[in-house]
Amino acid sequence: MVKEVKIIVFILERGPGYDSENVFSRTEAEWEIGKHLSDGWKYLGTGGGSGADELKGVGLGFVILTRDVSPVEGKPLIRKD
């Protein structure tokens, strides 16, 4: 069985200067997580903590989701979304 894993990263508090590509606000992350769960993804775990020094303690969080995938003959298992 092959598993596909997705990590959704979000900023716990968003403020000026904290916009970053592929990093969601907490609200955006909740919507994104809900969308994936309704598409058949399963919750695997969460984590987080203070981010890099430049975030000044704002903090980052992440959610790990997984789903079963069946390999297709002749296609690579690694996908780039």
In this structure, what DSSP letter does residue 20 have? B
pLDDT given at position 77: 61
Can you tell me the distance from the alpha carbon of 64 to that of 47, in angstroms, rounded to the nearest whole number? 9
pLDDT given at position 17: 56
pLDDT given at position 11: 79
Can you tell me the distance from the alpha carbon of 73 to that of 25, in angstroms, rounded to the nearest whole number? 38
Residue listed under structure tokens 């969308």:
35
**Which residues are registered as beta bridge partners of 66?**
5, 42
Higher pLDDT, 56 or 23: 23
